[in-house]
A = this chain, B = another copy of it.
């Protein structure tokens, strides 16, 4: 059976299921509009450990364990843990994988990591290579600032186009349609397709304007997806981008408009959902953990309950490197998309 559609898109005839998820977030995220929907809000952003990096890894590990516990499974039961984060050598995911002792495939797609992991896991599941896998992604405001921008101790002011990296980690459990699970946390969600992104670069050099760097990647993946599938934006109840923020969202609309697609009626950006404007986060939230935790806390529950029937989850990643930025390089970006729908649809 033909599973490829066009060059970048695919369908998943065996409809792998999303059966569980969990999200751990930080204090500020807990104070936001979705605060009550996260599984755990960590009041201390070191979660009692010695460094932010250790805290981020622990949050990811905990999210994986909780997502599995919700379906009465443990890390020994998973075939593959796929995931990554923003830190060099993806240490949050690597150290989490060490503790989980599960087969591990490290992914790097910057903030697109959750979508990259989900489509990879779903294709491997559909292909018969995994019964139960778990996808995980994390980010941490303080570890990210250290990695990509300035020491927090400097107290640098945020620029108007900047976004706040979400302190959060989330995990999503994916299983084959015939995998026996007595009491799934979600009973009605399937991954039915997706689009693999290609790297885009519009020459942005400002590390405080990730939205502008990522919008072209989101537009490219979304428009390619529509063209490959032969559909229009209204095919989906809602299209969720990862972390474009308010500036990047505006740019996305203009880029898609130029290709004949009006996204303004049914699009939401996770970076704009997770914080409220009065939380002083400039253009919104960002980071691997942003769309991952919104997916777990809001999107999946809404799909499972029937509030949403079919959505496109487009996580967007800026492949920003502090080193290459210093060497005068621009910031390339990538976005991957997963089609999630009600199994009963």
Contact = CB atoms under 8 A, between A and B. Distances in A.
Interface of A: 1-4, 7-8, 10, 50-51, 53-54, 79-80, 84, 87-91, 94-95, 97-98, 101-110, 116, 120, 123-124, 126-131, 147, 196-201, 319-324, 327-329, 332, 334
Given A53-B324, A106-B334, 9 more contacts: A2-B128, A8-B103, A53-B323, A54-B327, A88-B322, A90-B319, A103-B198, A105-B107, A108-B108
A96 B43 CA distance: 41
A291 B324 CA distance: 26
Q: Chain copies in the assembly?
A: 2
Contacts of A334: 94, 97, 104, 106
Contact of A108 (B10, B80, B89): B89
Contact of A88 (B88, B95, B123): B88
A161 to B, nearest CB: 20
Contact of A95 (B94, B106, B147, B324): B324
Residue among A94, A102, A147, A329 having the largest count of chain B Cβ atoms under 10 Å: A94
A87 B325 CA distance: 14
A91 B123 contact: no
A13 B133 CA distance: 21
A210 to B, nearest CB: 13
Contacts of A94: 199, 319, 321, 332, 334
A108 B128 contact: no
Nearest to A317: B106
A305 to B, nearest CB: 31
A309 B78 CA distance: 33
Nearest to A88: B88
Contact of A91 (B105, B197, B319): B319
A103 B54 contact: no
B80 A105 contact: no
B106 A89 contact: no
Contacts of A50: 327-328
B87 A323 contact: yes
A175 to B, nearest CB: 13
A236 B97 CA distance: 29
Contact of A4 (B79, B199, B324): B79
11 contacts: A7-B103, A8-B103, A88-B88, A90-B108, A91-B324, A91-B329, A95-B329, A98-B332, A104-B197, A105-B109, A127-B127
Contacts of A327: 50-51, 53-54
A128 B14 CA distance: 12
Nearest to A79: B7
Nearest to A8: B103
Contacts of A97: 198-199, 332, 334
A199 B104 contact: yes
